[in-house]
Structure 1
Amino acid sequence: MRAVFRIAREEWRLMCRDRVAVLGLALLLLLGTVAAFTAWDQRGAAQADRQRHQTQVDQEFDGQPDRHPHRMVHYGHFVFRPLNPLAAFDSGIDPFTGHTLFLEGHRQNSANFGDVRQSSLLLRFGQLTPAFVLQVLAPLLLAFLGHAAVARERERGTLRVLMAQGLRPGQLVAGKLLALAAAAALMLLPAALALAAIALDDPASTPLALSIALAHAAWLLLWTLGVVLVSTWARRSRDALMALLAAWTVGVVLIPRLAPELAAAQRPLPTRLETDIAVARDLAALGNSHNPDDPHFAEFRRQVLAKYGVSRVEDLPVNYKGLVGMEGERLTSELFERYGRESFARQHAQLRHVALFSSISPVIALRGISMAAAGTDLCSYQRFLEQAEKHRYTLMQSLNRLQAEQLSWASDRNSRESRISKDHWHGLASFHFEPEPMAATLQRIAPLSAVLAAWLLALATAMAWATRRLQGAMR
């Protein structure tokens, strides 16, 4: 072990003498630190804004005067998606999706105000977050720092001298790995401190923060093994650097960009216009509650009259208009839910197709782990939309029920008598988002973690084989 540490110390000394390497490492540490602070500040500001707006719209809804309940149905309400504390580390798909949802009767609106739609096109290439720094920039710096680790010894002719002095190839490679791993650990430090601060601020997120830290540590270890492996295999430092730059370009930049495009081409989603047309067509086929001769609502009226044992809607103990509103809301909500399930099923099929590319680009698996743990992936976004839709349906049906129970058929036709007390909708619109249980999140990221483990095992095996090959080449 003494020889291994001596090799690692000598490698570190060479790195410190290289001004470009020192400058690059210092810049990356500075960038990681700035990314952590700015991302945390932006997340806090965004969350505060959303909480303030949510409080404001809740108060405005509660402060509405005495009204007809159906007017409140069309008045609607806003809900804002809360931010997970770990979103400060990895923003995931949040910049591309909306965070504000308008809830109203008979309609299911999409979330609006995604950051990408309100910012320059540069945002599409990645935000400055700790995750971006570690996933994209850190591997590139590792390639520059370690590409010559073993190849340099071969080029200078010192490899044979070291072997002649009794140094084994395994000790040499282990020392080079240790030195580069120390540099990788230094790169991880700002992000690890940021995750620790998030965990201290929100102790419930500690297991997920630890999962993110371990995943990125595995990612940097993977690149450490890869860099030393290529340097061990290459005959010249220049060849090793070119091979590593090509691997970084293809594995970190090209494939993660290309895979979603291929998935979208293989499993295309309908456009917004196509979906709107299909929904409008199906809504028209459901029936028209304003048409007394509509087959569905004519049958609905017959069933209601039979249930209460009367022959006219005027004789019902409840307001028939409110019952019609409840039935119409039920039909349209079932339709909206069906289209929503189909859309998310297609998107999840695309994600499964993209995940297949993790066998040639492990950063895809890493991003899946990071976004899932940070609560910024598709599943978290879907969970928000589904809970918001459930809240919308409950809210609208509550208002429709007020129309059915608090207003009579006769009073509903008189504008002066068709108002009910504003006390009925106090607290009715409050929305509380429930994040995914931690156990479910950890279960979802387990297969992706296995992909990273498989990559580490494969590279470690290749490293052992390259070390034996190095021994044979010296004989």
Structure 2
Amino acid sequence: MSVITRIAREEWRALFRDRVAVVGLALLTLLMLVAALNAWEHQRNANAERARYQAQANHEFEMQPDRHPHRVAHYGHFLFRPLNPLAAFDPGIDPYTGNTLFIEAHRQNSANFGDVRQSSLLLRFGQLSPAFVLQVLAPLLLIFVGHAALARERESGTLRILLAQGITGRQLVLGKLLALSGFALLMLLPALLMLAGLVASGQAAWQPSLLLAAGYVLWLLLWSLMVVLLSGLLARSRDALLALLAVWTIGVILLPRLVPDMVSSALPLPSRFENAIHVQREYLALGNAHDPNDPTFAAFRESILKEYGVTRIEDLPVNFKGLVGFEGERLSTELFERYATATFERQAEQNRLVDHSAWLSPTLAIRRLSMTAVGTDLTSFRHFLEQGETYRYELVQRLNRLQSEKLRYADDSNPNRENRISHEHWQTFPRFDYQPQPLADTYRQTAPASLVLLVWAGLLMALTSLMGARLGTTRQ
């Protein structure tokens, strides 16, 4: 048995003779199990509920009676975002964003009915999840368990005896680090088993699960290094405990809340009402797509008459009102997309600034990696909205095409005549099929956060190695 392994074994014995370590590990494991079961049950119910409502919305849309196509466009449709199975591990921003999208003609709606708005106000202060336990509580337990790892040897006088017996400072430090890392792995074990269960059952893909597991292994290794480093640098265990608690408070509690607030102040987003006012003003300037005689569409009318070689819209082989609706929807969608893209780009810029601040607090890095790997970040939410908008546009334009091809202009312009087409057309429309973003995009988006964690771990490892060398060359 090597010296390092022997030191680690003795440290483990000391850890498990300590009631703080045993009780803390038991409580953390219990919290992890409760968080995992609660999150899994919530996700199972939410997915079942959304699937039921989606099936109901699809059925009601398809079972509409014979109608005018444009009435169907205004009848609208509901789209529900399915939950990623890994969202049970880290809910991310999902509780604060909507999960239901109502699509209709001439409008681009945002998603509604986020969990925070539908639940107790307590949810606004944080949701118990495996990610929260590992990001916030696990480092705190490591601090209380390991803060005296080296300081205890110094205070009791055994450090000098160990060094006199030929044990090098680095061997001692590595042994302590090995023991504390093993303890951290025990804390992580329930989460790893949860991920393994999701993969084994076929509910989650193994690639993002492995990425998530690797990220949290690196995160707890980083804290193990931090604890051993400060325990070796400071003379007394009490000083090491206070210093580590200060690091945890600033790095885990304060900075992750302060940085987003500062970024929001530096790069403010226009309010939803401001955007709605600007969009409505520009939308009205586009003309009335319900009126084929609107002067805004005069140039469009002339181009259509020229294309078909006729002089009157009554002589067109297609319904001009449907063509105007088609063109109006194209113009309004471009307007909506311009404002939506500007908003998302502003939010992405805010996120980039927050991500850059991860060099000050790796907590921001592990949060970014965790949310991105499980698909509960802003990019995934945007992915859902963009797919919903694409589906909305294609559905409305298909209805406009039916109006232009299935109804005569003379009949459609007669207010005394009911113009309807068969309900069988609604049943041929494709259903919404949400597709999560490709794994390659997930890897690319998590790369900066992974780099931050690796650099922090490498830096702490180098400093810990130097500290170990110093233990063997100075008088203690």
- Name the TM tier (shorter chain): over 0.9
Task: Please give the residue correspondences for 1:1-40 in structure 2 after superposition, counting only pairs within 5 Å.
Answer: 2-40=2-40
Asked if structure 2 preserves the Cα contact closer than 8 Å seen for 1:8 and 1:175, the reply is yes
Deviations 1:449-472 (A, max 9, x none): 111110111000000111122122
Deviates more, 1:158-167 or 1:283-292: 283-292
Q: 1:427 to 1:261 in 2, by over 3 A?
A: farther
What amino acid sits opposite 2:173 in the alignment? Answer: V
Deviates more, 1:339-348 or 1:440-449: 440-449
Q: Report the Cα distance in structure 2 between the residues aligned to 1:254 and 1:21, rounded to whole angstroms.
A: 26
Runs (5+) with no aligned partner, structure 2: none
Q: CA deviation at 1:360?
A: 1.1
Asked if structure 1 preserves the Cα contact closer than 8 Å seen for 2:292 and 2:321, the reply is no
Asked if structure 2 preserves the Cα contact closer than 8 Å seen for 1:142 and 1:224, the reply is yes
1:454 maps to what in 2?
Answer: 455
Matched, 1:326 2:343: no
Q: Report the Cα distance in structure 2 between the residues aligned to 1:294 and 1:404, rounded to whole angstroms.
A: 17
2:221 maps to what in 1?
Answer: 221
Asked if structure 1 preserves the Cα contact closer than 8 Å seen for 2:172 and 2:468, the reply is no
Q: Report the Cα distance in structure 1 between the residues aligned to 2:356 and 2:447, rounded to whole angstroms.
A: 15
Q: CA deviation at 1:295?
A: 3.8
Deviations 1:139-159 (A, max 9, x none): 000000000000011111111
* TM-score normalised per structure 1: 0.97
Asked if structure 2 preserves the Cα contact closer than 8 Å seen for 1:77 and 1:429, the reply is no
Q: CA deviation at 1:285?
A: 1.7
Q: Report the Cα distance in structure 2 between the residues aligned to 1:166 and 1:472, rounded to whole angstroms.
A: 12
What amino acid sits opposite 2:60 in the alignment? Answer: E
Task: Please give the residue correspondences for 1:52-451 in structure 2 after superposition, counting only pairs within 5 Å.
Answer: 52-202=52-202, 205-290=205-290, 294-412=294-412, 413=414, 416-428=417-429, 430-451=431-452
Q: Report the Cα distance in structure 2 between the residues aligned to 1:417 and 1:124, rounded to whole angstroms.
A: 51
Asked if structure 2 preserves the Cα contact closer than 8 Å seen for 1:147 and 1:231, the reply is yes
Asked if structure 1 preserves the Cα contact closer than 8 Å seen for 2:98 and 2:111, the reply is yes
Q: Report the Cα distance in structure 1 between the residues aligned to 2:184 and 2:428, rounded to whole angstroms.
A: 52
Q: Report the Cα distance in structure 2 between the residues aligned to 1:455 and 1:433, rounded to whole angstroms.
A: 37
Q: Report the Cα distance in structure 1 between the residues aligned to 2:291 and 2:439, rounded to whole angstroms.
A: 49
What amino acid sits opposite 2:369 in the alignment? Answer: I
Q: CA deviation at 1:121?
A: 3.0
Asked if structure 1 preserves the Cα contact closer than 8 Å seen for 2:69 and 2:402, the reply is yes
* TM-score normalised per structure 2: 0.97
Q: Report the Cα distance in structure 1 between the residues aligned to 2:290 and 2:46, rounded to whole angstroms.
A: 43
Deviates more, 1:202-211 or 1:142-151: 202-211
Q: CA deviation at 1:414?
A: 5.2
SS at match of 2:79: strand
Deviations 1:395-415 (A, max 9, x none): 001111111111001222255
| Corresponding pairs, count | 475
Q: CA deviation at 1:248?
A: 0.6
Q: Which runs of 4+ in 1 moved over 6 A?
A: none
Asked if structure 2 preserves the Cα contact closer than 8 Å seen for 1:31 and 1:133, the reply is yes
Q: Report the Cα distance in structure 2 between the residues aligned to 1:448 and 1:427, rounded to whole angstroms.
A: 45
Q: Report the Cα distance in structure 2 between the residues aligned to 1:472 and 1:231, rounded to whole angstroms.
A: 17
Q: Report the Cα distance in structure 1 between the residues aligned to 2:368 and 2:119, rounded to whole angstroms.
A: 24
Deviates more, 1:394-403 or 1:408-417: 408-417
1:474 maps to what in 2?
Answer: 475
SS at match of 2:67: coil
Q: CA deviation at 1:9?
A: 1.9
Deviations 1:129-180 (A, max 9, x none): 1111111110000000000000011111111122222222122111111111
What amino acid sits opposite 1:37 in the alignment? Answer: L
Asked if structure 1 preserves the Cα contact closer than 8 Å seen for 2:225 and 2:461, the reply is yes
Q: Report the Cα distance in structure 2 between the residues aligned to 1:268 and 1:120, rounded to whole angstroms.
A: 28
Asked if structure 2 preserves the Cα contact closer than 8 Å seen for 1:212 and 1:370, the reply is yes
Asked if structure 1 preserves the Cα contact closer than 8 Å seen for 2:135 and 2:363, the reply is yes
SS at match of 2:205: helix
Deviates more, 1:184-193 or 1:159-168: 159-168
Asked if structure 2 preserves the Cα contact closer than 8 Å seen for 1:58 and 1:429, the reply is no
Runs (5+) with no aligned partner, structure 1: none
Deviations 1:429-461 (A, max 9, x none): 510111111122112212221111101110000
Deviations 1:177-205 (A, max 9, x none): 11111110000001000111111123761
Q: CA deviation at 1:68?
A: 0.8
Q: Report the Cα distance in structure 2 between the residues aligned to 1:15 and 1:82, rounded to whole angstroms.
A: 44
Asked if structure 2 preserves the Cα contact closer than 8 Å seen for 1:85 and 1:202, the reply is no
| Identity %, equivalent residues | 59
Deviations 1:324-350 (A, max 9, x none): 111111111010111111111000000
Asked if structure 1 preserves the Cα contact closer than 8 Å seen for 2:215 and 2:366, the reply is yes
Q: CA deviation at 1:381?
A: 0.6
Deviations 1:299-337 (A, max 9, x none): 111221222222222221111111111111111101011
What amino acid sits opposite 1:390 in the alignment? Answer: T
Q: Report the Cα distance in structure 2 between the residues aligned to 1:58 and 1:293, rounded to whole angstroms.
A: 35
Q: CA deviation at 1:428?
A: 1.4
Asked if structure 1 preserves the Cα contact closer than 8 Å seen for 2:198 and 2:204, the reply is no
Q: 1:427 to 1:258 in 2, by over 3 A?
A: farther
What amino acid sits opposite 1:212 in the alignment? Answer: L
SS at match of 1:66: coil
SS at match of 2:102: strand
Q: CA deviation at 1:120?
A: 2.7
